[in-house]
Amino acid sequence: MARVLINIPREIHAGETITIRTLIQHGMESGYRPGADGNVVPRDILRRFTARFDDEPVFAAEFSPAIAANPFLSFTMVVAASGTLTLRWEGDNGFDQTETRRIAVA
Amino acid sequence: MKRCLLMLLCCLPAAAQQRRSSFEDMARETQALQRDDATNPAMLWVQEGEALWSGAAGAAGFSCASCHSAAETSMPGVAARYPAWDDARGAPIDLAGRIAQCRAERQGAPPLDRESPGLLALSAYVGLQSRGLPIAPPDDPRLAPAVAEGAALYAERRGQLDLSCAQCHDDNAGRRLGSSTIPQAHPTGYPLYRLEWQGLGSLQRRLRGCMTGVRAEPFRYGAPEYIAIEAFLMRRAAGMAMETPAVRP
């Protein structure tokens, strides 16, 4: 499992627009770099990020080889009521990681 | 002698005032990355270090926490006073060396190699507990020979470019080398996340980079020469705030 940091505001009021910030440990090997032996290192990157709030998609992103290692991603969403945020990163070589966080409105 | 003293009196306070971390010379965006733990990629390694700290390993099933309890209470200030004297070996030891020693000899867990993800993670986690604290090298006369050796290595010209550390980091600090500003070489933030590395690295990795940069043969990881240079650099940076885990370009 890759290490993930997810930053969610502590106190949230119903109807508020909040910013979610995420960081995931991933090498994002571009597929263009020669390795120590001179051969190109095969591509190994994250391809897609999706965020759902109680099964409703709230944000998605496609990644490309030009994105740096350990990608940081930030997006905003409106929270009407408490629910569960599901974040999923999918990538090359079967990479698939899902994290869930409870979001409670005050 | 009199002139020497006068020069010392004139230069020392000025030099001390002008000391600055290379944090100051970074782009605003890179500074922002370091300032906020939610964006600093090094915090991913810190998280790993925290897990290693509290996870049992080795035959006796000890974790670091079994002997040291919470790092937040036992480790503040520790990273700020390394390298220290190691009684067992009768030699100076750096923080990574101490952690590796504790892990192999006291915890009885599989050893962690220099620059391995686990040792970097533990070093970052222990180092974080000193963030913001002043660098405070131990007042131990047994370390004096290492500090002197470090000062000599720092002043020695090396490599095909025949340059010493001092020629860049004292004589030309603040000027540019290609696209980078030459820093004063204060070891305030290690281990740190370097954008060029796309990962976390130790001070020794940084020093290797400076050595291969002048086309000199770097020392092997863990070599006493690196520990001597670190002992000298930490003394030179005494009183400056620890930044571990920092971010650098």
pLDDT tens figures, A57-101: 999 999 999 999 999 999 999 999 999 999 999 999 999 999 999
A17 assigned to some structural domain = yes
A65 assigned to some structural domain = yes
Number of structural domains chain A divides into: 1
Quickly list H helices, B19-143.
28-35, 42-54, 64-68, 71-74, 95-101, 117-128
The pLDDT, as a whole number, for residue B7 is 41
d(CA A77, CA B151): 55
B208: Cβ contacts below 8 Å, ≥ 6 apart: B218, B219
Which residues of chain B have a pLDDT value below 50?
1-17
Q: What is the CATH number of the domain that holds A70?
A: 2.60.40.10
Q: Which residues of B touch A23 (CB under 8 A)?
A: 38-39, 41, 43-44
A90 assigned to some structural domain = yes
The pLDDT, as a whole number, for residue A2 is 94
Per the CB < 8 Å rule, is A23 touching B41? yes
A37 assigned to some structural domain = no
A38 assigned to some structural domain = no
Instruction: Give CA B125 to chain center in angstroms.
Output: 14
Which residues span the domain enclosing A23?
Answer: 4-30+44-103
A70 assigned to some structural domain = yes
The pLDDT, as a whole number, for residue B18 is 87
Per the CB < 8 Å rule, is B198 touching A3? no
The shortest CB-CB distance from A70 to any of B38, B41, B48 is to B41
ipTM of this complex: 0.89
Q: Which residues of A touch B43 (CB under 8 A)?
A: 5, 23
The pLDDT, as a whole number, for residue A106 is 85
Its pTM stands at 0.93
Helix or strand holding residue B152 (H, E): helix B144-155
Of B91, B95, B59, nearest to B245 by C-alpha is B95
Instruction: Give CA A12 to chain center in angstroms.
Output: 21
Of B200, B167, B115, nearest to A69 by C-alpha is B200
Residues of B assigned a catalytic role: 210
Interchain CB contact of A23 with B (< 8 Å)? yes
pLDDT band at A55 (very low <50, low <70, confident <90, very high): confident
Q: Which residues of A touch B50 (CB under 8 A)?
A: none
A35 assigned to some structural domain = no
A71 assigned to some structural domain = yes
